[in-house]
Structure 1
Amino acid sequence: MSEAFRALPAVGTLLTRPEVAPLLERYGRPAVVQALRQQVAEARRLLARGEAAAAEALFEAEALAPALARRLQPRLVRVVNATGVLLHTNLGRAPLAAAARAAAEAAGGYVPVEYALETGARGRREEAVARLLSELTGAEAATVVNNGAAAVLLALGALAGGKEVLVSRGELVEIGGGFRIPEVVAQGGCRLVEVGTTNRTRLEDFARAATAATGAILRVHPSNFRMIGFTERPSLEALVDLGRRLGVPVVADLGSGVLFDAQATGPLQDEVPARSALAAGAEVACFSGDKLLGGPQAGFVAGRARALERIRRHPLMRALRCDKVRLAALEATLHLYRDGRADEIPVWAMLRATVPDLGALAGALAERLAEAGVPATVEPCEDAVGGGSAPGRPLPGMAVRIATADPEALARRLRQGSPPVVAVVREGALWLHLRTIGPEGLEPVAAAVTAAWAG
């Protein structure tokens, strides 16, 4: 084994290989040297596991340059999502509309992010987004921060800092990355008071838990799970009525960001629209920008003007504020809603795709693949909204199934292709879900699968 380690090529030797020369010209010596060191380190790890053949293969002429290129290129490259999960958290959640992408690109230069062109005076950073959001939700005022959890954190800190926050035990959820609602409440400077039981919490439970130290009632979106069976929880309207009697605000964490009642249908029937939550009397509603709203990552807070004034003055507001590129993309996305052009937002186009339409796309892709010798069939499948939205409510879809002896190897080659294609391996086959591929993805996916199949 020690001989195998000693036989590994030196970085200096690898630098003289002809296939490395173009990379040196493009990326420069320091970056290529670092990539080669990583390649040698990977070979050492393989040798330590007894995989000598795999370690040797890392330095073959046809493998070395592509491997180095993958190490040197930016990590955040555009991929094709073939998983059928619309708001795939690991793939950046909602893809942006063309208008939002164009606005983000324009914001790469100088933009009047805090400057009023009409008067030449300093302006408020989030003013345009806040105005649109208020118009769309019926809120008296609104603001935006860098993600949904930050919106809840800021709202609680501003409205109930130093006081108790009442939350149903059935809503003490853990969100992505291991972050939990009790921790968010604590970081907001509040003391959590658990109310009721896991499966059943009644209005009188909240009333009994309230004291002179109560600062807010928090209603939490049940992200990534759905509780069924012997369950109960008070309506938002009932909580608001209790809050008014107690003199405390109700903060509604809506999670996914449905704006209107008309959108909360089908698999989204359990999502509470922002406009409805505010009409029910919530002091503020908090929700995400990069889920069902279809914009970039952001957290919105909309509601009463008195509450938003306190929130905007909170010290955390500056720490959590959005940059100019994100604000530009958000404004463009909200303009699409205001102008009745929400069908241009990719997540809504994917949600509205019908099974017959998806079947036609799957048939076209399977035909292309069959012509290239790839054994592809059209099969029904289940898609998912993802991003914590509509848990337990799958979307009927259509997929292309590729039978192969080693679907994991094929999936790996697809991920390493250009463009990378992220597919699903299940039931001993590779599956390509058409809902997230879409019409524009047919040609790139067909070419990528054909190349990966050829090895």
Structure 2
Amino acid sequence: MTGDKSLRKLPSVDRIVGLASCKSLIDYYGRTRVVGATRKLLDGIRNEILSAGNGEDYAFKSDEDLMSALSSQLKESSKPLLKKVINCSGVIIHTNLGRSMLAETAGKAAMDTAVSCVNLEYSLKEGERGERDDILEGLITGLTGAEAATVVNNNAAAVLLVLNTLSDGKETIVSRGELIEIGGSFRLPEIMAKSGSVLKEVGTTNRTHLSDYENAINQNTALILSVHTSNYRIIGFTSKPELAELKSLAKSKSLPLMVDLGAGAVIDLERLGLKGEPTIAQTLDNGADVVTISGDKLLGGPQAGIIAGDADIIARIRKNPLKRALRLDKMTISALEATLRIYQNPDEAVSVIPTLRHLGKPVETIRAVAGKAVEILKEEFGRDAEVFAVDDICRAGSGSLPEVDIPSVSVVVKHRTMSPDETKQWFRSLNPPIIGRVESGMFRLDMRCVDDAEQIRPRKES
């Protein structure tokens, strides 16, 4: 068979690795990696021959061809899988795109910490072991009015930890209308089950009364949980108790009241023209004993779960062995500290924290950037595409402000030979990839998260 004949012509791994022209690859990538890549290359050629079945020769005729293919394969495998992208999706805090971008000072703080030894758990004043919570607690309590605070690696972990600490083996009362599902199909009832807490549902999807909570309380009740439905709203014939009413009930029964705020605003977003998100401080003032929020949503920091509230509750949480399993690393602590310090000046926060800046950016500013982007793309495509700007609507994203339509401006690219989906794929192939969306039969690039139109200039991978 000609396929067998072609297989016999394949060179051995040792012969390829022993070529003089392979030495530079071995010097750069290391022998182990080059050997592995050579095996992979030969396996690919072998599969091509077997698939063809009647080829008289394999694809590479010379050692130079083999070296070129091997070099390309090694170069491609060296490229990072996690890479910078330009977010033109129309979703500001996009979970799939890493949620919030850090402020420059927060990113620099994380980098400096990553490449240095730091006083993570060391008291420079006392010259002895310290607590990593000490770095963040004062900032959080100062911004929220909480008595105490601690931080873990995300908000789901924060909810898990609080439930396990306060309600392990006991009942937690939750309104049926607040049994949320968050990204990746993680559901609150499943998190509660993992925490050891027993879910006690009350009310209906659209209406839950204070009496529903009161009637559900028994000797096995350990906690009342209120969940801020930050990723959806139930409207119409609805009813739910005010937080102050739940607090009064909880206090009369000597039960703690926990609130999962989810997206978790630190400052009132009405200053950005956005309504509907309670702050941690407001939630604590309204009666919550302990509040949990995400660090990488409306806060605009790194992934983290902040737990703030009653000092005795926080002390119990710190003693839970799960706390160590869920703790933050030094880079995240550094980035979060830098982010929280920015919030000490709210006027600075809304301009230098990218999430807040993008949420509050005036439409006319976006329109100006879109106009420049149109010119850049017209220059790129010439007569091959029609490029123009349109008024659009974008979303906060990541379960934040679900009812709020945020005005924006998008750049539409109608290519003469590529379909909208093909155009979308073409922009994803750029360096860095530009992530747009197809809507109403048009490929569009939302400009709200683009601060400089030059970010849209197409650049191919080198």
Which residue of structure 1 lines up, in the alignment, with residue 426 of structure 2? 413
Q: In the alignment, is the contact (CA less than 8 A) between 1:267 and 1:395 conserved in 2?
A: no
In the TM superposition, what are the counterparts of 1:22-421 in structure 2 within 5 Å? Answer: 26-31=28-33, 69-108=75-114, 109-260=116-267, 262-264=268-270, 268-340=274-346, 341-342=348-349, 343-374=351-382, 375=385, 376-404=387-415, 405-421=418-434
Q: In the alignment, is the contact (CA less than 8 A) between 1:355 and 1:396 conserved in 2?
A: yes
Q: Cα–Cα, structure 1 residues 40 and 246, in superposed 2: closer, same or farther, change >3 Å?
A: farther
Instruction: Give secondary structure in 2 for the equivalent of 1:247.
Output: coil
Instruction: Give secondary structure in 2 for the equivalent of 1:85.
Output: coil
Q: In the alignment, is the contact (CA less than 8 A) between 1:82 and 1:421 conserved in 2?
A: yes
Instruction: Please list every run of 5 or more consecutive structure 2 residues that lacks an aligned counterpart in the other structure.
Output: 53-58, 60-64
Distance 1:24 1:3 in 2: 31
TM (norm. structure 1) is 0.86
Compute the displacement of 1:70 (Å): 4.3
Distance 1:384 1:133 in 2: 27
Kindly provide the CA deviation profile for residues 146-202 of structure 1, in whole angstroms up to 9, marking residues without a partner as x. 000111111111122221000011111111122111111122211100010111111
Which residue of structure 2 lines up, in the alignment, with residue 53 of structure 1? none
Compute the displacement of 1:121 (Å): 1.8
Q: Cα–Cα, structure 1 residues 443 and 266, in superposed 2: closer, same or farther, change >3 Å?
A: closer
Determine what percentage of the aligned residue pairs are the same residue. Answer: 40
Q: In the alignment, is the contact (CA less than 8 A) between 1:253 and 1:287 conserved in 2?
A: yes
Instruction: Give secondary structure in 1 for the equivalent of 2:165.
Output: helix
Which residue of structure 1 lines up, in the alignment, with residue 454 of structure 2? 443
Distance 2:66 2:372 in 1: 37
Which residue of structure 1 lines up, in the alignment, with residue 55 of structure 2? none
Correspondence 1:426 to 2:434:
no
Q: In the alignment, is the contact (CA less than 8 A) between 2:157 and 2:326 conserved in 1?
A: yes
Q: Matched residue pairs, number?
A: 439
Kindly provide the CA deviation profile for residues 24-70 of structure 1, in whole angstroms up to 9, marking residues without a partner as x. 664445445656777888999999999xxxxx9xx999999777644
Compute the displacement of 1:445 (Å): 1.9
Instruction: Please list every run of 5 or more consecutive structure 1 residues that lacks an aligned counterpart in the other structure.
Output: 51-55
Please say which structure displays the higher CA radius of gyration.
Answer: 2
Compute the displacement of 1:134 (Å): 0.4
Distance 2:371 2:305 in 1: 39
Q: Cα–Cα, structure 1 residues 223 and 16, in superposed 2: closer, same or farther, change >3 Å?
A: farther
Q: In the alignment, is the contact (CA less than 8 A) between 2:272 and 2:360 conserved in 1?
A: no
Kindly provide the CA deviation profile for residues 71-95 of structure 1, in whole angstroms up to 9, marking residues without a partner as x. 3222122221121211111111000
Q: Cα–Cα, structure 1 residues 10 and 281, in superposed 2: closer, same or farther, change >3 Å?
A: farther
- Answer with 156-165 or 327-336: which moved more: 156-165
- Answer with 111-120 or 399-408: which moved more: 399-408
Matched AA of 2:225? L
Q: In the alignment, is the contact (CA less than 8 A) between 2:160 and 2:194 conserved in 1?
A: yes
Q: Cα–Cα, structure 1 residues 368 and 155, in superposed 2: closer, same or farther, change >3 Å?
A: same
- Answer with 109-118 or 60-69: which moved more: 60-69
Distance 1:211 1:181 in 2: 22
Q: In the alignment, is the contact (CA less than 8 A) between 2:110 and 2:335 conserved in 1?
A: yes
Kindly provide the CA deviation profile for residues 255-289 of structure 1, in whole angstroms up to 9, marking residues without a partner as x. 012013x2256774222210001001111000000
